[in-house]
Amino acid sequence: MSERTFLPIRSVGRSVGRAVRRGPGRLGGGLGADAPTAPAPTSRAGRSRVATSPTPRDGASTADEQQRSSMVDSAIYADGSRVESPATLAESYQALRENPGAVAWIGLFRPDDHEVGSLADEFGLHELAVEDAIVAHQRPKLERYDDTLFVVLRAAWYVDETEEVEFGEVHVFVGPDFVVTVRHSDQPDLSAVRRRLESNPDLLRLGPEAILYAIVDRIVDGYAPVVTGLQVDIDEIEIEVFRRDAAVSRRIYELSREVVEFQRTVGPLQAVLHGLMAGFEKYGTDEELQRYLRDVDDHLTAVIEQVDGFRHLLREMMSVNATLVAQQQNEEMKALTEASIKQGDEVKKVSGWAAILFAPTLVGTIYGMNFDIMPELHWYFGYPFALGLMLMVSTMLYIVFKRRNWI
């Protein structure tokens, strides 16, 4: 069991009236046509609920609730059009009760336990899904609890200044007549999704599944700028590699980490889409929505293939850069060796000539000591002998050093 704190559980029968008017869900999803679903009571009244502080009933609202509300937007849609825009959760619940056949879309931004608990009470959300929505930091996934889908999605956007991929998380509860979105970051901007749906009544008329599709489509579309940003940086790195920039290794490593993290986001999302498509026939998903979701899956597949290509390309760049660095080091070592050899040759030449010049210096020094008892000083051939000795020793040294290439 996770160490995350569970909220107290209590039974609430307030939603019996709404449970009676709901038929079987037709949401395409689950983990396949025969995927097991989480065990749940057949009626909402009998299900364990997440406890909350007392909330206003029947549309009542208090100043305290309005002050602490994290609700970004709430709308009641009927026949593809917005019919009401409640200001609080309680008003949203009341408006949905007063409009049979309508769909509520409630958008929250970093809600507290009280608000999520209120939603769990009203819509019979499973405690595990509620816990995930509160704690956040989940990977993309799809879970079915009775007639409610719980979908975790991760948006991504690229920050060019820091060459980093930032991620945002949104949790979506989808029921027969409601959609609840819980965001934990500024992205994705779901207001654009609302505007798109409200401008297309035919799509919105398809119900909660259409809202889920539009959210997923918005997130997948947001991956395209990330791919473009990564591609630009990889092109720059490729140029730097062959310029032998000293800092390129670190840049390759850091960008590789961003690509891996992005890959961990887009990969599981495809499993979510495949899970939705696997339930098309079982849950009677509208054919138009089926086509839309397949199109989103095609776009996501293209993104996954590109990101996988980026990862392999960066790995190859790292290898090429290591080879070029090693080659450059070899060239530097070769240059140093050549310089050392050249320096050694110069030292040999200097040493050779020094030895040659030292020979006559030594002879001259000996006979220049001016002692009285030195037979050669009074010898008739003493001077020619000294010169000849100097010349002979110098010549012999010159021949030896020349044969050994010292001079």
Report the candidate in 175, 206, 205 with the shortest Cα–Cα distance to residue 23.
Answer: 175
Residue 152's DSSP bridge partners are 141, 171
- The answer to whether the beta carbons of residues 222 and 168 sit under 8 Å apart is no
Do 364 and 311 have their domain in common?
Answer: no
Residue for token pair 């210096």: 361
Do 289 and 352 have their domain in common?
Answer: no
Last residue of a domain, one of 324, 354, 378: 324
Do 346 and 379 have their domain in common?
Answer: yes
Q: How confident is the model at residue 150 (pLDDT cuts 50, 70, 90)?
A: very high
Q: Are strands 164-174 and 81-84 parallel, antiparallel or unpaired?
A: unpaired
User: What's the whole-number mean pLDDT along residues 323-328?
Assistant: 75
pLDDT digit string (tens) for 98-145?
988 899 999 999 888 888 888 998 898 998 888 888 887 788 999 888
Q: How confident is the model at residue 301 (pLDDT cuts 50, 70, 90)?
A: very high
Dihedral (CA of 205, 210, 215, 221) sign: negative
**Which is more confidently placed, 129 or 373?**
129
What is the count of structural domains for the chain? 2
- Give percent of the chain above pLDDT 90: 20
In the predicted structure, residue 285 carries a pLDDT above the cut 60: yes
Range of the domain at 373: 339-403
**Which is more confidently placed, 217 or 380?**
217
Q: Are strands 148-159 and 71-78 parallel, antiparallel or unpaired?
A: unpaired
**Which is more confidently placed, 29 or 57?**
29
Inside any domain, residue 173: yes
* 3-state SS assignment for residue 204: helix
Do 97 and 201 have their domain in common?
Answer: yes
- Least confident interval from 100-114, 137-151, 282-296, 361-375: 361-375
pLDDT of residue 69: 62
User: What's the whole-number mean pLDDT along residues 321-340?
Assistant: 79
User: What's the whole-number mean pLDDT along residues 88-102?
Assistant: 90
Do 138 and 246 have their domain in common?
Answer: yes
pLDDT of residue 44: 33
Do 148 and 229 have their domain in common?
Answer: yes
